[in-house]
Structure 1
Amino acid sequence: MKVSDILRLKGNTLYTIAPDEPLARAVETMADKDIGSLVVMEFGDLVGMLTFREINQVLARDGGSIGTRLVRSAMDDAPITCTLQTDMDEVRRMMLGCHARYMPVMDQRMLMGVVSFYDVAKAVVDSQNFENKLLKAYIRDWPEDDHAAPEAS
């Protein structure tokens, strides 16, 4: 399974913010939209990711206050990325290796979407469920062996 398969099923809703926006506005957007990340874009380019992890780090560092900080001061300015053709096993390895919960999907310099650890886990579970159904149907429809050896008496 490729990243393109997940994005096709997930849809193309994408939430972005500029790096010079107030961090408080980012928090409001994330809460209002019930999302865990925002892609930080500047002049049409990906310049960072902002997740609740970065926000929590700011809160811990500044005594629970966001103050007048800007998104730029809290964002991850070097997020790991993948492409539409990246295999899901590789995405899992990358996310686990970097403790990333969200990964921007790029096509050259164009942002195509974001996959979350939830999206990856859901795709794996859905794929396994489909395989299980196929295997159960195969076993249920197993042809009887007409040439079975007779039982000894």
Structure 2
Amino acid sequence: MLKVQEILRVKGDALYTASPDMPIRQAVDTMATHDIGSLVIMEFGQLAGMVTFREIIRHMQRCECMIGPDNTIRSIMDDAPVSVSPNTDIDEVRRLMLQRHARYLPVMDGPTLLGVISFYDVARAVVDAQEFENNMLKAYIRDWPTDTAAQG
């Protein structure tokens, strides 16, 4: 069965974090520059939360304003994000994402942040696994042994 660690291996090791005291404007700039939808919030080497474009958009709608220089991530971040371990099964990840409406999950090995997986990463991994399985089945069927001696 497919595990989170396999998704991280394919995805690569680029990881973007921020502190809770980072201005929201700087977080938006980081996310836009790197074309990412979330930042893991770390404080004192520990997972403190997550911020995604969802929290930023909610903040903008609530304030009916643009993002000011005094607003920090701490004021909008999800301070209790669901996380998974590298050994979490992909079916459990999909269930968690759907149940919690989470598009991004931090991957933690104890207190150590290993990466973030997105809904897109999970969908791509599932499609790739299904394509591999289909190709293997087609190859097996094509190479099906024929026993002409038994028929004769």
The verdict on a shared fold, with TM-score over 0.5 as the criterion, is yes
- Are 1:36 and 2:37 counterparts? yes
Deviation, 1:144, is 2.8
In 1: Cα distance, 2:25 partner to 2:91 partner: 35
Aligned position for 1:4: 5
What is the one-letter code of the residue matched to 1:89? D
- Figure out how many residues of one structure are paired with residues of the other and give that number: 149
Aligned position for 1:90: 92
Aligned position for 1:115: 117
Deviation, 1:143, is 2.2
Tell me the TM-score normalized by structure 2.
Answer: 0.94
Query: Deviations for 1:56-85, whole angstroms, at most 9, x for unmatched residues?
Result: 100111114222310001110000000011
Aligned position for 1:61: 62
- Unpaired runs of 5+ residues, structure 1, are none
Aligned position for 1:15: 16
In 2: Cα distance, 1:134 partner to 1:2 partner: 20
- Unpaired runs of 5+ residues, structure 2, are none
What is the one-letter code of the residue matched to 1:66? I
Aligned position for 1:76: 78
Moved more, 12-21 or 137-146: 137-146
Tell me the TM-score normalized by structure 1.
Answer: 0.93
Identity %: 60
**Secondary structure in structure 2 of the residue aligned to 1:60:** helix
In 1: Cα distance, 2:32 partner to 2:65 partner: 17
**Secondary structure in structure 2 of the residue aligned to 1:83:** coil
Larger radius of gyration: 1
